[in-house]
Amino acid sequence: MVLSVKNTMTQRLYEHLQPLFDLYLLLQPMAGTFSLAGQATCTNCSAGRYTNHQGQHQCKNCSAGKRSETVGATTFEECVNCIAGQFSDQTGATSCTECRVGKYAMAKGKQQCQECAAGRYNSQVGGSHDNIRATPATSAVGCVNCVPGMYGTQTGQISKAAACRNCPSGKSSTTVGASGLDKCLPCKTGKATNGVGEISCKHCLAGTYADESGLVVCKSCKKGRYSTKAGRDNAPCDDCLIGFYVILSQFYPWFCLLVMWRFNVLNKSNSCFMLFCLWI
């Protein structure tokens, strides 16, 4: 009996207080709005901010890497990620900023952009790729590789002229986007190049040789020696034989019909000497 009376009294009290409670809820700021002490009305959250509960005294900022253009946003989901190629480094952003030249952002929701790696460059804003081959058909915006024969050492470069340097003479490179001078390899023996920015070294011609790596030009066979082989990498060509001679280091010996002997037999020189010769 006592329990029944208590339940009845509680029910009546609830019935009397329910209208007051409902009125209190109506007076509270709705989600997406807020009110300060003493305000008679609620204010919508500004763009870049939101509230997802009633009765808030302030709005929450969208986090860095996101933005919101919605006034009175009621959920965190209304803060959307910055797209690739853009960033937001502050909270409560209403828009995202495109990556500057020399930088890129591949993923969504980035708080900052990254610098292009050494051996690459980006001359456009809004870069969203870190590795682009430089071709006329390329429409993507991002970090473009230095072409073979060139290399780079600095990050965040904004042009090919600033980012890419030619491999020096005596070296070549087939690497795309080479990130250091060490990617320019010395010409192997039997080859040389006196040009810069080369992708390959050239074989030594007949009558020349390269017995060491990194040569700018091939060495000529000395007088009294010859070579018929291109790309020769072993030293100093072949000796003239008795009955043969070489003029001005020409690559092939002519046969002498008459008397001839080697001058170095007498004077220790490196040439073949003809006394009298009829060549056929």
Tell me: pLDDT of 85 over 80: yes
In the structure, what pLDDT confidence band is assigned to residue 111 with cuts at 50, 70 and 90? very high
Domains of the chain and CATH, by start: 45-96 (2.10.50), 99-184 (no CATH)
Q: Which helix (H) or strand (E) holds 115?
A: strand 114-115
Phi/psi at 49 (5° precision):
-135, 165
List the one residue out of 150, 192, 179, 187 whose CA is nearest residue 167: 150
pLDDT surpassing 80 at residue 80: yes
Determine the Cα–Cα distance for residues 15 and 179; give it in Å rounded to an integer.
Answer: 78
Q: What is the pLDDT of residue 209?
A: 86
- Does residue 248 have a pLDDT over 70? no
Q: Cα(28)–Cα(53) distance, rounded to whole angstroms?
A: 10
pLDDT band at 269 (very low <50, low <70, confident <90, very high): very low
Contacts of residue 68, defined as CB under 8 A and 6 or more positions apart, other chains included, come to 47, 48, 49, 50, 62, 78, 79, 80, 93, 94
pLDDT confidence bin for 84, thresholds 50/70/90: very high
Q: Is 186 helix (H, G, I), strand (E, B) or coil?
A: strand
Q: CB 230: neighbour CB atoms within 10 A?
A: 16
Cα separation, 215 vs 169, in Å, equals 8
Taking residues 137-148, report their average pLDDT: 85
Residue-level pLDDT at 37 = 52
